[in-house]
Amino acid sequence: MYALEDTRHLLDRLYTKGALRLFDVDGSYEEEVIPGVRVRLSGGHTPGSISVLVDTPDGIASISGDVVYNLQGSLIDPFLDGLNLGEPTLTGNRAMSTLEEKIAIKKALSGVRFMLPIHDVPALLQGGRVTGLLHNAISSPEARVTDASAYTLL
C-alpha cells in the first residue's frame, strides 16, 4: 500500500504538463530520455519490458529489469545448457518464445559494462560475459554500481 502523500504526488504528475512521458519503443531503436540516458525495448522474461541505458565514465549501465532473472543459473554457470557453452539458461516463463527470450538476453548483454537486474545483484560485464558481481549492492544504498573496481571478479 502506498502512503497517501506518495499517491497524491504521482496523481499530480499526471496532470502536470511535461511531467510525464510515455515511450512507444518498438525494439528497432533506442529513445533518448535526456542526454546520456536512453530506453529500449528489452522483452525477455516479461514481454514489453524496457531497459534504461545510462552512459557512465566506465561504460554503459543497463537497468535491465527482469531480462535475466538469476545471474548465476542463467549466465555464470548455466545449469541447463552446459552443452551449449555461452548460451544462457532461460527462465522457463513461456510468455515469450524460447528464441525471443534468448535474443532479449543476448541483446541486454551486448555493448554494456554494467547490468543492474531487478532480481539479482549488479553484474560487471566484458564482451557480453559476466566477469564480476557487486554482492553488497542490495543492502547498501551507497554501493558504487558503476565503478568497475567495486566489483568482486569471478
Q: Would you state the pLDDT for residue 139?
A: 87
Query: Above 70 in pLDDT, residue 52?
Result: yes
Residues 98 and 6: their CA atoms lie apart, in Å, by 39
Tell me the per-residue pLDDT of 125-147, one tens digit each, with 9 for 90 and over. Answer: 999 999 999 998 888 889 999 99
Q: Is-contact 28 81, C-beta < 8 A?
A: no
User: pLDDT band at residue 58, thresholds of 50, 70 and 90?
Assistant: very high
Residues 9 and 55: their CA atoms lie apart, in Å, by 29
CA 49 vs CA 14, 27, 34: distances in Å? 21, 10, 20
Residues 116 and 32: their CA atoms lie apart, in Å, by 19
123: nearest Cα among 45, 63, 48, 53 = 63
Query: Above 70 in pLDDT, residue 84?
Result: no
Beta pairing class for 114-117 and 59-65: parallel
Tell me the per-residue pLDDT of 64-82, one tens digit each, with 9 for 90 and over. Answer: 988 887 888 888 887 665 5
Query: Above 60 in pLDDT, residue 63?
Result: yes
Q: Would you state the pLDDT for residue 45?
A: 67
